[in-house]
């Protein structure tokens, strides 16, 4: 009886922990270094692809510049950067992880370099349903101090399941809708949801005024950035 009671108590504790309300931080609490350094220009290097989709980095690169620009940053032209790096044999951000960030300052004049890691870019199809998933981690590193200024992650899942109640019709509907779902709009959703946590740059009207915005879900921060 005691063993049963103990197991029940452990189950309740685990359930409560799993359902705990996430801690929401302000931007200045989560990313104080963004407010201590002048970060005006960003270079986005080729994405690190850890998904099973070979074309994910190329498709993803078309979606990241706009939300960063709208957040008040000058984004180095991504196609030009990719072309210059490709000439040097660099086609994957993983190849640049060991490069001193100061070199990006010297070569391109960028204040920070953004690394994006694509963890999921997947179509999942099963008998009674399906979905399309895009998930990525972001890390912004200062080219002056080599410090991580901002990092976050998110996953967007689009349900492509049929729901007519007719099993055969739903299987066909799910297969078709899953196959034709475009990843690019989903990647845009990931970008916008993540970039809302980034302190805005000097080209934004709220520059230096958004520090108290409580938008950072601590559990989605990819690294501990709180001092």
Q: What is the pLDDT along the chain (227 residues), one digit of tens a residue?
A: 444 344 334 344 444 444 568 899 999 999 999 999 989 999 999 999 999 888 889 889 999 999 999 999 999 999 999 999 999 888 888 888 888 999 999 999 999 999 999 999 877 655 455 667 889 999 999 999 999 999 999 988 876 544 544 444 444 444 444 444 567 888 888 899 999 999 999 999 999 999 999 999 999 986 644 33
Confirm whether 54 is domain-assigned: yes
Q: Which two tokens stand for residue 214?
A: 């409580």
CATH number at residue 166: 3.40.50.10610
Confirm whether 186 is domain-assigned: yes
Dist CA 145 CA 211 (whole Å)? 21
Confirm whether 46 is domain-assigned: yes
Confirm whether 138 is domain-assigned: yes
Dist CA 156 CA 191 (whole Å)? 10
Residue 61, Cβ neighbours under 10 Å: how many?
Answer: 19
| Domain span including residue 27 | 22-220
The conformation of residue 46, written as its DSSP 8-state character, comes to P
Dist CA 62 CA 47 (whole Å)? 11
Confirm whether 6 is domain-assigned: no
Residues whose CB is less than 8 angstroms from the CB of residue 215 and which lie 6 or more positions away in sequence, other chains included: 24, 26, 27, 196, 197
pTM: 0.80
Domain count, the chain: 1
Confirm whether 140 is domain-assigned: yes
Element (H, E) at 180: helix 167-180
Confirm whether 14 is domain-assigned: no
Confirm whether 13 is domain-assigned: no
User: First-to-last CA distance in the chain?
Assistant: 46
| 81 neighbors 30 (Cβ within 8 angstroms) | no
The conformation of residue 19, written as its DSSP 8-state character, comes to T
């Amino acid at each position: 009886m005691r063993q049963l009671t103990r197991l029940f108590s452990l189950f309740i504790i685990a359930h409560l922990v799993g359902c705990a309300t996430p801690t929401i931080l302000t931007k200045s609490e989560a990313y104080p270094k963004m407010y201590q350094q002048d970060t005006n220009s960003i270079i986005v290097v080729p994405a690190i692809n850890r998904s099973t989709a070979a074309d994910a980095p190329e498709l993803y690169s078309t979606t990241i510049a706009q939300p960063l620009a709208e957040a008040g940053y000058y984004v180095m032209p991504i196609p030009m950067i990719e072309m210059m790096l490709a000439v040097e044999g660099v086609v994957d951000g993983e190849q640049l992880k060991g490069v001193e960030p100061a070199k990006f300052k010297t070569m391109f004049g960028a204040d920070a370099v953004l690394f994006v890691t694509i963890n999921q870019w997947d179509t999942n199809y099963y008998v009674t349903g399906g979905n399309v998933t895009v998930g990525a981690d972001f890390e912004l590193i200062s080219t002056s101090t080599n410090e991580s200024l901002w990092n976050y992650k998110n996953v967007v899942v689009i349900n492509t399941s049929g729901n007519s109640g007719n099993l055969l019709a739903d299987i066909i509907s799910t297969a078709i809708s899953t196959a034709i779902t475009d990843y690019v709009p989903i990647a845009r959703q990931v970008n916008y949801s993540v970039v809302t946590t980034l302190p805005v740059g000097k080209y934004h009207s709220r520059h230096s005024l958004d520090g108290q915005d409580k938008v950072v879900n601590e559990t989605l921060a990819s690294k501990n950035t709180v001092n």
